[in-house]
């Protein structure tokens, strides 16, 4: 078995990559059926599934190189049982794996460098977000395999072939399906807050909270001593250099998700009055000290630390992260007592939409491309696709997310119960391997394949997802942006410039007039052409 022994040439190329940071703020730095017992390990089930999967198995065992997103500061698949877990995955899927972990903040740049060396690029590449920029340009130049020729074969790829057509449209460039999505719940984004702090200060959010309600909570969490220690050591909301929370807050003001239909034309949200109302609100949060002054220099992998350590009380992003913070409060090593009743643990409320709006996912967040140069035979292509498909089987969903039975979890009455929740080192044995999963045919379907014992945390998360869904704002331009010629070459740069200008204004580095001037310049530098190309497709599809 090969393990993390990736081609030395690629390693040298990628070693020079540096992460981008934004300037202006603070320091100026800027599951089909659960009938099979989920506790069965992959090695014990491989023989029983061999006969049913012979048609999809490659003729000989292939080695698949794969760049994987590292969200865990280098502790992915490490520890005493790590090799055993990876071996069971390889045996079940029928491939040997070379995994190279890329830090999330440096992912885009490292992938761009890999694209520049097509003969050594990973056979499967992980990407964050949605299809834009370099990916579209590379796709137009034939860098990726057209998956339309393969994955709709339901006999070979029963999981991949069940992909949503609407999601597939957002991953299609010039009629070619160039990636496999990491599917996500649509109503996944929202606001989570520290329940005991809110109860103590009397600022719990009502059923139909407004942005003002949120402001009042953040103000109280910052200045009214929510932890009761008599020290000015709390800040209302968690924030790092990742600006996704600002995109969520913007929806509260009715400006939509990325783009909006205005009088029958699609325009980027920063061309609407609602956008500027939202940005003024965010600027006020910053000016009034309700978020960390140095947020633009805080790395993404430290996100949620503020809430976990009691610095912050509000977390705006995916609701499942709010759940994880809540679970953190209740683990033995990190037990955090409630400020209202010290005999009880602290908790989080997973709130969701504010003012009748929240951000929707694209139905996916991140995706996998398959190299047309390094997957240079049909056998290699089928091996890679079989790997991605089999990883959605119950056995693989279990081992990549929960580890080994008897080590990381136990089975009780047919349900999986984690036993390593208070042993972070033990959990590191499988940590990060969930980044290999597509969660196809859907996140909801794959979750049903692993019979995890229901608990208050997951129940709250699923209820929050369902509550957010009717209010989740979809980006209406996604499938059109993928096929905009100008967006493929200029879009990522221009979007980054618009985000940077917003940051500069929020943090007081530029005036409102200068902010608007920068957005006008972005239009003249290519965004007007993008708007025209998007709307040509939009009108044709009405």
pLDDT given for residue 542 in this prediction? 76
Please tell me what DSSP assigns to residue 64.
E
Q: Are 18 and 293 in contact (CB under 8 A)?
A: no
185, 359 Cβ separation under 8 angstroms: no
pLDDT of amino acid 303: 80
What percent of the chain lies above the pLDDT cut of 70? 89
Structure tokens belonging to residue 289: 């000290």
Does 9 fall in a domain? Answer: no
SS3 state at 237: strand
Residue 360 confidence (pLDDT)? 94
Helices 211-223 and 273-287, packing angle to 10 deg: 10
CA angle 382, 388, 394 (to 5 degrees): 125
Q: Which CATH number covers residue 346?
A: 3.40.190.10
The answer as to whether 11 is a domain residue is no
Average pLDDT along the chain: 88
More confident residue, 376 or 30: 376
Q: CA 279 → CA 146, 210, 254, distances in Å?
A: 40, 16, 12
Q: Is 4 a domain residue? A: no
Give the helix, strand, coil percentages of the chain, each rounded to 5. 45, 15, 40
Residues 242 and 388 occupy one common structural domain: no
The better pLDDT of the pair 312, 136 is held by 312
36 part of a folded domain? no
Of 207, 156, 164, the residue nearest 182 (C-alpha): 164
- Choose one of 426, 452, 478: the last residue of a domain: 452
Residues 391, 522: one domain? Answer: no
Q: Are residues 315 and 443 in the same domain?
A: no
Say if residue 438 is in the same domain as residue 514. Answer: no
Q: Which residues pair with 337 in a beta bridge?
A: 345
Per the CB < 8 A criterion, the answer to whether 148 and 111 are in contact is: no
- Residue 17 forms part of a structural domain: no
Residue 14 pLDDT level (bands cut at 50, 70, 90): very low
Using 50, 70 and 90 to split pLDDT, how confident is the model at 37?
A: very low
Pairing of strands 176-177, 409-412: unpaired
* Residue 48 banded pLDDT, cuts 50, 70, 90: very low
From CA 43, how far away is CA 45, in angstroms rounded? 6
pLDDT digits (tens, 9 = 90+) for 307-362: 999 999 999 999 999 999 999 999 988 999 999 999 999 999 999 999 999 999 98
Check residue 272 and report its DSSP letter: S
Q: What is the DSSP letter of 193?
A: E
Query: Hunting for tokens 């080590």 — which residue is that?
Result: 407
Angle at 17 between CA 15 and CA 22, to 5 degrees: 150
Q: For the CA atoms of 362, 364, 365, 366, what is the dihedral angle to 10 degrees?
A: -130
Nearest-Å Rg of the Cα atoms of the chain is 23
Whether pLDDT at 220 is above 80: yes
Give 364-384 pLDDT, tens digit per residue.
989 999 999 999 999 999 999
| Cβ-Cβ contacts under 8 Å for 255 (sequence gap 6 or more) | 269, 272, 274, 275, 277, 278
Same domain? For 195 and 307 the reply is yes
Query: What region, left, alpha or beta, does residue 66 occupy, with left being phi > 0 and alpha being psi -120 to 50 degrees?
Result: beta
322: in domain: yes
Biggest alpha carbon–alpha carbon distance for the chain: 68
Beta-ladder partners of 364: 183
pLDDT of residue 28: 36
With 60 as the cut, is the pLDDT of residue 43 above it?
no
Note whether 145 and 285 are same-domain residues.
no
Dist. CA 276–CA 260, nearest whole Å: 14
**pLDDT of 500 strictly over 90:** yes
Cα–Cα dist 13/115, whole Å: 11
- Which region among 297-301, 487-491, 529-533 has the lowest average model confidence (pLDDT)? 297-301
d(CA 111, CA 506): 30
Name the pLDDT band for 225 (thresholds 50, 70, 90). very high
The model scores a pTM over 0.75? no
Does one domain contain both 260 and 388?
no
Comparison of pLDDT for 149 and 303, the residue scoring more: 149
Per the DSSP assignment, residues forming a β-bridge with 96 are 63
Please indicate, yes or no, whether residues 210 and 228 belong to a single structural domain of this protein: yes
CA distance 215 to 202: 13
Q: How many domains does the chain have?
A: 2
In a domain, 30, yes or no: no
CA distance 46 to 153: 22
- Containing 477, the helix (H) or strand (E) segment is none
CA atoms within 13 A on the CB side of 522: 23
Q: Nearest 5°: CA angle at 476, between 473 and 480?
A: 150
Whether residues 316 and 330 fall in one domain: yes
Last residue of a domain, one of 405, 420, 452: 452
Q: What are phi and psi of 317, to 5 degrees?
A: 180, -140
DSSP bridge pairs for 249: none
Question: Between the CA of residue 265 and those of 251, 471, 487, 534, what are the distances in Å?
Answer: 19, 22, 17, 9
Do 54 and 200 belong together in one domain? no
Let me know whether 264 and 413 are in one domain. Answer: no
Rounded alpha-carbon distances, angstroms, from residue 239 to 301, 337, 502: 12, 24, 15
> Which residue carries 């760049």 as its tokens?
67
Give the Cα separation of 122 and 70 in Å (integer). Answer: 15
Per-residue pLDDT for 391 more than 90? yes
**Ramachandran area for residue 356 (φ above 0: left; ψ -120 to 50: alpha; else beta):** left
Whether residue 223 contacts residue 279, with contact meaning beta carbons closer than 8 Å, is answered with no
Given 452, 480, 509, the domain boundary residue is 452
Q: Per the domain annotation, does 31 fall within a domain?
A: no
pLDDT grade, residue 59 (50/70/90)?
low
Residue 160 has pLDDT above 50, yes or no: yes
Q: Quote the pLDDT of residue 41.
A: 39
Q: Which range marks the domain in which residue 115 is found?
A: 44-186+362-452
CB 180 within 8 A of CB 440: yes
pLDDT tens-digit series, residues 268-282:
999 999 999 999 999
Q: What is the pLDDT of residues 79-89, one digit of tens each?
A: 999 999 999 99
Same-domain check for residues 145 and 224: no
| Spatial CB neighbours of 21, under 8 Å, sequence gap ≥ 6 | 29, 30, 241, 296, 297
């Amino acid at each position: 078995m090969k393990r993390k022994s990736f081609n030395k040439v690629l390693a040298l190329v990628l070693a020079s990559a540096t992460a981008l940071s934004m300037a202006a703020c603070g320091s100026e730095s800027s599951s089909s059926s659960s009938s099979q017992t989920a506790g069965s390990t992959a090695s014990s089930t491989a023989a029983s599934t061999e006969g049913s999967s012979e048609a999809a198995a490659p003729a000989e065992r292939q080695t698949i190189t794969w760049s994987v997103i590292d969200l865990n500061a280098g502790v992915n698949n490490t520890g005493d049982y790590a090799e055993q877990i990876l071996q069971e995955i390889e045996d079940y899927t029928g491939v040997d794996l070379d995994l190279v972990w890329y830090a999330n903040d440096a992912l885009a740049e490292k992938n761009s460098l890999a694209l520049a060396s097509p003969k050594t690029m990973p056979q499967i590449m992980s990407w964050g977000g949605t299809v834009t920029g370099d990916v579209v340009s590379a796709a137009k130049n034939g860098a990726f395999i057209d998956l339309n020729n393969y994955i709709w074969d339901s006999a070979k790829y029963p999981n991949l072939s069940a992909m949503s057509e609407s999601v597939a449209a957002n991953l299609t460039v010039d009629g070619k399906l160039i990636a496999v999505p990491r599917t996500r719940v649509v109503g996944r984004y929202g606001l989570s807050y520290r329940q005991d702090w809110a109860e103590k200060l009397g600022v719990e959010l009502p059923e139909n909270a407004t942005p003002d309600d949120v402001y009042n909570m953040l103000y109280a969490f910052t200045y009214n001593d929510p932890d009761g220690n008599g020290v000015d050591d709390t800040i209302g909301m968690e924030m790092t250099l990742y600006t996704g929370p600002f995109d969520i807050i913007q929806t509260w003001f009715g400006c939509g998700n990325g783009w909006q239909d205005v009088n029958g034309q699609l325009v980027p949200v920063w061309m609407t009055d609602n956008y500027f109302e939202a940005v003024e609100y965010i600027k006020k949060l910053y000016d009034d000290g309700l978020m960390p002054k140095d947020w633009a220099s805080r790395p993404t992998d430290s996100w949620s630390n503020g809430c976990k350590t009691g610095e912050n009380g509000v977390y705006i992003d995916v609701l499942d992260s709010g759940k994880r913070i809540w679970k953190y409060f209740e683990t033995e090593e990190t037990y955090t007592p409630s400020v209202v009743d010290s005999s009880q643990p602290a908790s989080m409320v997973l709130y969701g939409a504010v003012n009748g709006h929240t951000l929707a996912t694209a139905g996916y967040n991140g995706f996998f491309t398959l190299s047309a140069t390094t997957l240079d035979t049909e056998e290699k292509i089928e091996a890679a696709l079989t790997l991605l498909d089999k990883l959605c089987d119950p056995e693989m969903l279990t081992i990549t997310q929960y580890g080994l039975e008897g080590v990381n979890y136990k089975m009780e009455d047919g349900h999986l119960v984690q036993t390593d929740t208070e042993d972070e080192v033990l959990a590191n044995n499988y940590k990060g391997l969930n980044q290999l999963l597509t969660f196809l045919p859907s996140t909801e379907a794959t979750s049903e394949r692993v019979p995890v014992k229901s608990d208050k945390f997951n129940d709250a998360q699923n209820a929050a997802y369902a509550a957010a869904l009717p209010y989740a704002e979809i980006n209406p331009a996604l499938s059109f942006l993928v096929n905009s010629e100008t967006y493929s070459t200029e879009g990522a740069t221009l979007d980054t410039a618009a985000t940077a200008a917003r940051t500069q204004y929020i943090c007081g580095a530029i005036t409102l007039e200068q902010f608007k001037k920068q957005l006008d310049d972005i239009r003249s530098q290519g965004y007007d052409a993008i708007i025209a190309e998007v709307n040509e497709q939009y009108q044709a599809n009405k």
